[in-house]
Amino acid sequence: MSDMAAHDAHAHPQGFAHQFEDAVQQKEAGTLGMWAFLVTEILFFGGMFTAYIVYRSLHLGGFIIGSHLLEVKFGATNTAVLICSSLTMALAIRSAQTGKSRGAIISWLILTMILGATFLVVKFTCEWYPDYLNHIVPGSYFGFEYRPEWGAHAPYVQMFMCFYFFMTGLHALHMVVGLGILTVLVIMTARNKFSSEYYTPLEISGLYWHFVDIVWIFLFPLLYLIGGRYPGS
């Protein structure tokens, strides 16, 4: 039993869990765990991307018409907003790494949250709500009747809109979860839980936030830009 006592007597940094040998092992385990989780996220979104690719190759015409119902300016703006939020998230972690004050970390985190919220506000007010009014949300009132200019592609336009709402909806859900995580991080930082020695929760939450950004980096061209936007496309 002597080793158990020795183990407990070790001076461990805050946040240390009993099952680990030392802080390095704990940090590596946490990071590997998060990456493994992100792999499951890749395949979770991947199921939808696979379906998207299959149908896009079968019904390209309808997908292009559907894509043109979306506003590039909002998609591009939101892409920029998310990239900014990734930068601020990276800087928040860097502040913790370099032992900056709590205030600095919290400022970067709050800035990240504001940018994330901006994304969601643009999504809801500028895109989904007008879409609802324009009857391009799939379902019984889709397009009232199919618009005549869609011709025979009309069913596939509806298919595209299914993808648009399912994919952006799932992405937005991840954004909301991300905002929740950031809120927890702000509270933890305020309670002085992190230091330049221990900031694993910040680091792995950052991985999650960047992952959500990456999903959008692919959604933007796939949903808004496919088939081109040039005249006659």
Partner 1 sequence: MSTATADIHHDPVESNVNYLNASYGIKSWLFTVDHKRIGLMYLAVITFMFTIGGVAATLMRLNLVEPQGALVEPETYNKLFSTHGIIMVFFFLVPSIPATLGNFLIPLMIGARDVAFPKLNLLSWYLFVTGCGFAIFAILSGGVDTGWTFYPPYSSLYSHTPVVIMALGIFIAGFSSILTGLNFVVTIHKMRAPGMTWFRLPLFIWALYATSLIFILGTPVIAITLFLLGLERIFHVGIFDPAIGGDPLLFQHLFWFYSHPAVYIMILPSMGVVSELITAFSRKKIFGYSFIAFSSLAIAVISFIVWGHHMFVTGQSVYAGLVFSVLSFIVAIPSAIKVFNWTATLYKGSISYQAPMLYALGFIGLFTIGGLTGLFLASLATDVHLNGTYFVVAHFHYIMVGGALMGYLGGIHFWWPKITGRMYPDMWARIAAAIVFIGFNLTFFPQFVVGYLGMPRRYAVYPAEFQVLNVMSSAGASVLAVGYAIPLVYLAWSMRYGPPAGRNPWGAKGLEWTTLSPPPTENFDVPPLVTEDAYNYAHAGATHV
Partner 2 sequence: MIGLAQTGLQNLAAFALMPFQPPEASSIAGDVDKLYYLLTGITIFFGVLIFSIIFYFMVKYRRRSEDEIPPETHTSMALELTWTIIPSLICVGLFVWASALYVQESRPPASATEIFVIGKQWMWHLQHPEGPREINELHVPVNVPVKITLTSQDVIHDFYVPAFRVKKDALPGRYTSLWFDPTEIGTYHLFCAQYCGTNHGEMIGWVYVMSAKDYANWLAGGEKTESMAQQGERLFTQYGCVECHVAGGTGKAPSLAGLYGQPEKLASGETRVVDEALIRQAILVPNSVHVPNYQPIMPTYQGQLNEEQILDLIAYVKSLGSQERNGK
Partner 3 sequence: MSEHPEQGGHGHVVPVGVYIAVFLALMCLTALTTGVAYIDLGQWNTVAALTIAVAKMLLVVLFFMHVKYAHGLTKIVIIAGFFWLGIMITLSLSDELTRGWEINPAGWTGLIPFLHHLF
Q: Does 155 bind partner 2 (CB under 8 A)?
A: yes
Tally of CB atoms within 10 A around 185? 26
Q: Does 103 bind partner 2 (CB under 8 A)?
A: no
Distance, CA of 34 to CA of 203 (rounded, Å): 10
User: Taking contact as CB under 8 A, which single stretch among the options 105-113, 133-141, 182-190, 225-233 is the one that binds partner 3?
Assistant: 225-233
User: Taking contact as CB under 8 A, which single stretch among the options 101-109, 127-135, 151-159, 204-212 is the one that binds partner 3?
Assistant: 204-212
Q: Which of 151, 169, 180, 221 binds partner 2 (CB under 8 A)?
A: 151
Query: CB of residue 4 vs partner 3: minimum separation in angstroms?
Result: 20
Long-range Cβ contact pairs of 200-205 (< 8 A, separation 24 or more): 200/15, 200/26, 200/27, 200/30, 200/31, 201/15, 201/30, 202/92, 202/93, 202/96, 202/105, 203/30, 203/31, 203/93, 204/30, 204/31, 204/33, 204/34, 205/181
User: Taking contact as CB under 8 A, which single stretch among the options 50-58, 102-110, 141-149, 166-174 is the one that binds partner 3?
Assistant: 50-58
Q: Which amino acid is at 147?
A: R
Residue 107 tokens read as 């400022």
Q: Which of 13, 139, 180, 221 binds partner 1 (CB under 8 A)?
A: 139
Q: Which is nearer to partner 3, 75 or 154 (CB)?
A: 75
Give the 3-state secondary structure of residue 146.
Answer: coil
Distance, CA of 77 to CA of 218 (rounded, Å): 15
Q: Say how many residues touch partner 3, by CB under 8 A.
A: 60
Residue 44 tokens read as 């979770």
Instruction: Kindly list the distances between the CA atom of residue 122 and the CA atoms of 27, 79, 208, in Å, as whole numbers in the listed order.
Output: 36, 11, 21
Q: Which of 3, 11, 47, 144 binds partner 3 (CB under 8 A)?
A: 47
Residues 160-199 that bind partner 1 (CB under 8 A): 162-163, 166, 170
Q: What is the CA radius of gyration of the chain?
A: 22
Q: Residue numbers of the site for partner 2 (CB under 8 A)?
A: 61, 151-153, 155
Q: Residue numbers of the site for partner 3 (CB under 8 A)?
A: 21-25, 27-28, 31-32, 35-36, 38-39, 42-43, 46-47, 49-50, 53-54, 57-58, 72, 76, 79-80, 83-84, 86-87, 89-91, 94, 97-98, 196-197, 203, 206-207, 210-211, 213-214, 217-218, 220-222, 224-230, 232-233
